[in-house]
Amino acid sequence: MKVRETYNGVQHSASFVVIDKLKDYMLLIKFTLSFTVVFSCVISYLLAPNITFNFLSVLLLFTGGLLITGSANAINQITEKDTDALMKRTAKRPVANGKMSVSEASAFAAVTGVAGILIVGYWFNWTAAMLGLFSLFLYGFIYTPLKKVHSVSVLVGAIPGALPCLIGWVAATDTMSAGGWALFAIQFFWQFPHFWAIAWVAHKDYSKAGFKLMPSDAGPTKYSALQAIIYSLLMIPVGVIPYLIHMSGEVSLAIVLVANLFMVWQSIRLYREMNVQAARRVMFSSYIYLPVVLLSLLADKVAGV
């Protein structure tokens, strides 16, 4: 006999309810985004001196990072539930569409945030755990409400967006040394053309929600495209730092430079064409850029470092 439960006013099998609830939680933590964030954390951990791949350590860092990031994203969705409901791309999020209550999402955010910090602190070190807590606070309670106030929110949001690289490095070394800051800088500057391209594509939705995320109040303009070019250009010298501090070798240096020049070219095309198609090219190029750069650095890690 199959157990049946009422869910949203309709009877379903218990297995359906569990799967549907799991999907809600995956949306709540923005799993794809969270996975990308934790990926950069793990790669940065493996790039640290004298660190070799250990499945248990990688699994624990991945789990702790995912819980912390998931908590921050849950706080974001609680705060933005009304604006999420207005936008097509976010209307299906569980708090926005009413499938999950604010109290349930808040309890989830609290439990996952505490659990993630404890895992990182106990298994690795408390410096990395406190950086994780700082990142969670900055994203959930400063960046999120600031999005409706001023476009400086993108600058503020880029800090917790890049901190996973530093957290991974510190988890391995317990020091905030040059290598960690180099990786932080790569991900920090990468976020500007990446995020402005997303904001360009979703400008109508963001405007409807009252978000001020473009560098120009006028929205997608030549000035906004120029800013994408400037930050793409800044990524070039930043991308050389791992080679200069002997973190990685010449092969990865060449790959990173090519990837950076490709980002600059896509940003220039956006400036010239000034349309959503060009913005999508910048967006998808940035999605490819980060794993290519981080994995090339790891593959070309200098022996003994």
pLDDT in tens for each of the 305 residues of the chain? 344 444 455 455 556 667 878 888 888 888 888 888 899 999 999 999 989 999 999 999 999 999 999 999 999 999 988 888 888 888 888 888 888 889 999 999 999 999 999 999 999 999 999 999 999 999 999 998 898 888 788 899 999 999 999 999 999 999 999 999 999 999 999 999 998 998 888 888 787 777 777 777 777 889 989 999 999 999 999 999 999 999 999 999 999 999 999 999 999 999 999 999 999 999 999 999 999 999 999 999 876 55
Q: Considering only CA atoms, which of 153, 131, 142 is closest in space to residue 75?
A: 142
Q: Distance of CA 39 to CAs 165, 241, 304, Å? A: 9, 21, 23
H-type alpha helices, the chain: 14-28, 31-47, 55-79, 81-84, 102-123, 126-137, 144-146, 153-173, 178-201, 203-209, 222-244, 250-273, 276-299
Under 8 Å between Cβ of 28 and 70:
yes
Quick count: other Cβ atoms within 10 Å of Cβ 21? 15
Q: What is the pTM of this model?
A: 0.89
Give the pLDDT confidence score for residue 3 in this predicted structure. Answer: 43
